Chain A
């Protein structure tokens, strides 16, 4: 006597199937495949030209420079965001009264709700093309994300150690450093490293809107149909993000767990 759940599953399946069929019909996918024999061949040809990456030393050294630039953008952008995130998280956790909390939370929401790519188009306009604009864009968005997480960590930290130190005559800053920081520091570091992993990927993309690094080179290569160069750049991006993942994982194990 339990026909309810199977019937619901059936309804759901029918609805999903209908949605898929409607999408295929709406996008004219069948017609596109039917008349697209040569466009499919074109696609394979395009992909084939990616199979042989450009490995000339001159180009590789240029890619290397781009990779270093991307790494620097992500690292400095994230570091700036960690500092600004802490600076905003302290008032956002309610340490400096109601007004400071409301103002800093509004700031964090604003910074966070604008995506990196939108920030980058703005910073490119404001600061000109190049890595500085990319760094700034990453720092702005990441500050919003980290500041909120940092503030939550502060709110969840047990208050007793800091209160006890204040009760024994310690100044506010010293009491925070000795009482609350040990509880939140591992989380702060872990969040910062995690955002760094995300930002290395984002730094590679930001070049598309003119904010420097590997992304800018990839954008030029694709615009000029240099598929071999584009392939080299994509591999470089992949290696770079693997490297950062490994590095951040190693740091996390050293700093957070130990």
Chain B
């Protein structure tokens, strides 16, 4: 159970990345976060993943405030949170198997992590994580020999190997072509369904959000615009969410100097 109450995050200036968010997500829900760029999707995921401390308000993961825990307890909590990123954070020179096995570093004692660097300890486990993604035969290749899409699937295999109770994916498919994007989104959802894990993913592709996830949250300017089951999201909701910001690149520029940004600035001040 994830619950956020009146949660705000402010970066150095007065700008708020998140502004009074109330949200609760039950175990096993598969939530898509959509919204124009700069809406606060990444910030929300970082807060839920206990990577970023909220400026104001409350975050509770299974009834615990992660920022009230000791460093060791926080580390234990994070071991059950799996994360995916737009750019897979895998060292290029690492072997695929090592990159996958790194998923369980939070659960392994240090001696096991060191021993596995010398000789991989769980080859079968890594192969099992890679097999459904069609990469089992690349087990001992180096990651810089893979394409971008293959590397993102290695990151996915690491996540499968970690078997976290909560999966947070920040734009996991934005850098992939549409076919691959769909297959990765489907794989994420299937895995979450099978293990009854909670999945929260931010997406640019609205149709993927509507077709694969159970619940869709629309974010804009740090606030929740709508939050309802995927089946009940109307195209008017989507249009309103992206109105005036249809092009992510254009919206990033316009939020700095275009007149459309003015009301927000005055409201915050």
Chain A residues engaging chain B, CB cutoff 8 angstroms: 158, 160-161, 163-171, 173-175, 177-180, 182-183, 185-186
Contact = CB atoms under 8 A, between A and B. Distances in A.
26 contacts: A160-B87, A164-B85, A165-B102, A167-B49, A168-B78, A168-B81, A168-B83, A168-B105, A169-B75, A169-B77, A169-B79, A169-B81, A170-B102, A170-B106, A170-B113, A171-B75, A171-B106, A177-B113, A178-B94, A178-B113, A180-B91, A182-B91, A182-B94, A182-B98, A183-B91, A185-B93
Nearest to A179: B91
A169 B80 contact: yes
B233 interface: no
B162 A163 contact: no
Contacts of A161: 89-91
A170 to B, nearest CB: 4
A182 B85 contact: no
Contacts of A171: 75, 105-106, 110, 113
Contact of A160 (B89, B98, B162): B89
Nearest to B107: A169
Nearest to A159: B89
B35 interface: no
A81 to B, nearest CB: 23
A161 B90 CA distance: 5
A182 to B, nearest CB: 4
A174 B91 contact: no
Contacts of B81: 167-169
B172 interface: no
A166 B89 CA distance: 12
Interface string B90-103: 11111000100011
Contacts of A175: 105
